Amino acid sequence: MINHIYQLTGVKTLCIKYEDISFSKDVIVQPEYMAICHADQRYFQGKRDSKIMCEKLPMALIHECCGRVIYDPTGEFKKGQTVVLIPNMPPPNYGTIYENYARGAHFLSSGYDGFMKELISIVPDRVVPYQDIEPEVATITEFVSVAVHASERFDKISHEIRDRIGIWGDGSLAYVVANVIKLRFPMSKVTVIGKQQKKLAQFSFVDETYTAAEIPDDLQVDHAFECCGGEGSYYAIQDIIRYINPQGTLILMGVSENQIPVETRMVLEKGITIVGCSRSGRRDFEYAVTMMRHSNIQQRLKRIIFEEKPVSSIGDIHKAFEDDMFTPFKTVFKWNL
Amino acid sequence: MIFGAVLAGGTGSRMHIADMPKQFLMLGEKPVVIHTIEKFLACAYFDCIYIGVHPDWVGYMFDLISKYIPAFENQLEIVTGGSDRNESNLNIIGGIEEKFGQSKEHVIVTHDSVRPFVTLRILEENVAAVLKYNAVDTVVPANDTIVTSKDGEEIYEIPNRSFMYQGQTPQSFRVSLLKELYFSLQEEEKKILTDACKICVVRNYPVHLVNGADTNIKITTPGDYKIAQAILGGKLD
**Cβ neighbours for B200, distance < 8 A, ≥ 6 positions apart:** B135, B173, B177, B178, B181, B206, B207
Q: What is the reported pLDDT for B64?
A: 97
Nearest alpha carbon to residue A19 among B192, B14, B38, B21: B38
Peptide bond into B21 cis (omega under 30): no
- pLDDT mean over A82-111: 94
Residues sharing a CB contact under 8 Å with residue A56, sequence separation 6 or more, in sequence order: A43, A48, A110, A111
Q: Are strands B208-211 and B135-141 parallel, antiparallel or unpaired?
A: parallel
For A336, which of B36, B38, B121 is closest by C-beta distance?
B121
pLDDT digits (tens, 9 = 90+) for A199-232: 999 999 999 999 999 999 999 999 999 999 988 9
pLDDT at B234: 64
Assign A333 a pLDDT band (cuts: 50, 70, 90): very high
Residues of B with CB under 8 A from a CB of A: 27-30, 35-36, 38-39, 41-42, 44, 68-69, 71-72, 116-117, 119-121, 211, 215, 231-233
- pTM of the full predicted structure? 0.90
Average pLDDT, chain B: 92
For chain A, the average pLDDT equals 95
ipTM here? 0.87
What is the model's pLDDT at position B165?
Answer: 96
pLDDT number for residue B235: 58
In this model, does residue A49 exceed pLDDT 60? yes
Question: What is the rounded distance in angstroms from the CA atom of residue A195 to the CA atom of residue A213?
Answer: 8
CB contact under 8 A, A23 and B44: no
Q: Is the pLDDT of residue B176 over 80?
A: yes
Nearest CA in chain B to A23: B69
Q: Do A2 and B30 touch (CB under 8 A)?
A: no
Cβ <8 Å between B39 and A1: yes
Average pLDDT over residues B125-143: 97
The CA distance from A59 to the nearest CA of chain B, in Å, is 16
Q: Yes or no: say if B183 and B233 are a contact pair by the CB < 8 Å rule.
A: no
Contacts of B39 in chain A (CB under 8 A): 1-2
Q: State the pLDDT at residue A156.
A: 97
Is B119–A118 a contact, with Cβ atoms under 8 angstroms apart? yes
Distances (CA, A) of B43 to B14, B46, B52, B59, B179: 30, 7, 19, 26, 25
Stretch A64-92: mean pLDDT: 96
Q: What is the pLDDT of residue B20?
A: 85
Separation between Cα atoms, residue A286 and residue A257, nearest integer Å: 30
* Partner residue facing B215 (CB), from A16, A30, A70: A16
The sheet carrying A208-211 orders its strands as A208-211, A189-194, A164-168, A223-226, A249-252, A273-276
- The whole-number pLDDT of residue A114 equals 97
pLDDT in tens, B68-86: 999 999 999 999 987 788 8
Residue B160 has pLDDT above 90, yes or no: yes
A311 CB neighbours in chain B (<8 A) are: none
Chain B residues whose beta carbon lies within 8 Å of the beta carbon of residue A23: 38, 41, 69, 71-72
Contact A80 B120 (CB under 8 A): no
B135: helix, strand or coil:
strand
Closest chain A C-alpha to B148 CA, distance in angstroms: 31
Mode of pairing for the β-strands spanning A27-35 and A120-122: antiparallel
Name which residue leads in pLDDT, A153 or B190: A153
- Could you give the residue ranges of the DSSP H alpha helices within chain B? 32-42, 58-68, 85-100, 120-133, 175-183, 187-191, 197-202, 222-231
Q: Which of B38, B116, B120 sits opposite A23 (nearest CB)?
A: B38
Distance from CA of A19 to the nearest CA of B (A): 6
- pLDDT score of B130: 98
Give the tens place of pLDDT for each residue, B97-123.
999 999 999 999 999 999 999 999 999
pLDDT tens per residue, range A6-16 = 999 999 999 99
Give B7's pLDDT tier (boundaries 50, 70, 90): very high
Domains and CATH numbers, chain A: 2-139+304-334 (3.90.180.10), 145-276 (3.40.50.720)
CATH dotted code for B2-138+167-231: 3.90.550.10
Quote the pLDDT of residue B190. Answer: 83
A20–B71 CB contact, under 8 Å: no
Cα–Cα dist B228/B226, whole Å:
5
Q: What are phi and psi of B110, to 5 degrees?
A: -95, 145
Residue B18 has a pLDDT of 57
